Amino acid sequence: MSTIAPAAGGVFPGARLRHVRRGLRMKKLPLVAITMGDPSGVGPEVCLKAVRSPRVLRGCVPLIVGDLKVLRLHAKKMRLPGRLSPVSPESLEGAGSAGVTPVFDLANVAARDRVFGRVRAGLGRAAGAYIEAAVRLIREGKAAAMATGPIHKEALQAGGYPFPGHTELLAHLVGKGKPVMMLFLGRMRIAHLSTHCSLREALRRVKRRRILYVGRLLAETLKKLDGRPPRIAVAGLNPHAGENGLFGAEEAKEIAPAVGDLRAQGINAVGPEPPDTVFAKLRGGQYDGAVAMYHDQGHIAGKMMAFRFGEKGRGAVRGVNVTLGLSIIRTSVEHGTGFEIAGRGRADASSMVDAVVLAARMARPARKAPLKNNRQNN
C-alpha cells in the first residue's frame, strides 16, 4: 500500500494562503478535506464545482486533496473560473482566500495517466493516496472532516489497496471502529446492516447484535444532528416482514429481539417494519431514520429519491453517503466515477456540495434545538 510523503524539505510546494474572506475573520469555520477521487473520472470536476458553491463557503473552508496538474487540466477544459493554489500542511491555518481554492497537492499522477475514463492501476493508487492524506490531516488536527470523491473499485485494488470500497479502506486506516454506511438526503436517513458483499453473505449478517449496534449508532448520529431523540424504524428482511413466520424466521429470531434491545436502551425504535413500505413512511416523516437489512434494500429506496435521469441519460444527483462508527467524520458523494462523461463538463456537483456541507455540519458541536431537515420537494 502506498504511503504519503511530502516534497523535498518536508513541505508541499505552494503559496501561503491569506485571511481575506471576511466571514473567516469573524468566526472559525471547520476545514473539510475533499479527496479528488479517481483522477480519470468526474471527481476532479465535481470537486472544482463544489468548492465554488456559496453553501460550501458559508459552512467551511474547503481543501481539495489531489493532484494539482489534473485539477488544472479539468478546470481549463471546462473553463472554470478561480485560481488553484498549492498549500502545505503548515499553512492550512487561515486557508480560504476569495477566488482561490487551496489544494493539498500530492503530485502523484504521471503525465501519461492524465486521461479521462480509463481504469488504470496508477490512478487507483493515486486515489487511495488522497484518502490516506485526508485521514492523516484529520488525525493531526489540521482538518475537521473529510468528504470523498468517487473512486473506481477495480482501479483501487489494481493500485494496491485490497479493499472493496471507501468504507473498508477507512476502517483499516483508522484502525478501530466498526463502520456503518448511512445514506442521507433530507428525510431519507438510512443506515445499512451490511454493504459490499454478496446477497447470500448479507443474509448471514442479519444478527441481533449487529442490528442493535447499527440502530444505536444511527440514533446517536441523528440526535446530534437534529437536537432531539429520533424515532427509528427497523426494516424487516423478508416480504411483509415475514408475515408471522410464513416467509422466513429472521424477523422473529433476530430483528424483533434487537428492536426490543434498542427500546430497552431508551431508543424510540419500531419494527420489524415491512420493507416495501417503511421507506415511504420515512419519506413522509413518520420516522427520523431507518435501518436497512442489506445494501440494495436501502440503496434502491435512497437513490430513487436522490437520482434524476432524463430520457437521454443526463440528470442530477443529490444525497450523501456517510460513514458512521469511526473516530473521524467522513461523507461522500452518492455516485460513481462517471467515466462515460468525464472531461465533458456535464457532471452534476450537487451530491458533492451536499457531502461537504454535511461534513462541516457534523464537525460542529451537537445542536441543542431541533433542526429542520434539508427537505427536498420529492
Q: How confident is the model at residue 309 (pLDDT cuts 50, 70, 90)?
A: low
Please count the other Cβ atoms lying within 10 Å of the Cβ belonging to residue 14.
18
Read off the pTM. Answer: 0.83
For residues 87 and 17, the answer to whether their CB atoms sit within 8 Å is yes
In this prediction, residue 103 carries a pLDDT of 93
Where in the chain are the domains?
1-176+326-378, 178-324
In this prediction, residue 8 carries a pLDDT of 33
Own/partner pairs, 364-373, CB within 8 angstroms, 24+ separation: 364/30, 366/223, 366/224, 366/227, 367/224, 367/225, 367/226, 367/227, 368/227, 369/227, 370/226, 370/227, 370/228, 371/225, 371/226, 371/227, 373/186, 373/187, 373/226
Interval 200-255: pLDDT, tens: 999 999 999 999 999 999 999 999 999 999 999 999 999 998 888 888 899 999 99
What gap in Å lies between CA 39 and CA 337, rounded to an integer? 9
Determine the residue type at 322: V
Interval 262-290: pLDDT, tens: 999 999 999 999 999 999 999 999 999 99
Does the domain spanning 178-324 belong to CATH 3.40.50.620? no
Interval 87-114: pLDDT, tens: 876 666 655 556 678 999 999 998 888 8
What gap in Å lies between CA 137 and CA 89, rounded to an integer? 8
Interval 25-76: pLDDT, tens: 435 889 999 999 999 999 999 999 999 999 999 999 999 999 999 999 988 8
Chain-centre distance of CA 294, in angstroms? 18
Residue that has been written with the C-alpha cell 456517510 in this structure = 322
Identify the residue with better confidence: 5 or 44.
44
Residues in the chain: 378
Interval 319-345: pLDDT, tens: 899 999 999 999 999 888 888 888 888
**Per CATH, which fold does 1-176+326-378 belong to?**
Isopropylmalate Dehydrogenase (3.40.718)
Are domains 1-176+326-378 and 178-324 of this chain identical in fold?
yes
What gap in Å lies between CA 147 and CA 319, rounded to an integer? 13
Most confident of 12-26, 288-302, 309-323, 328-342: 288-302
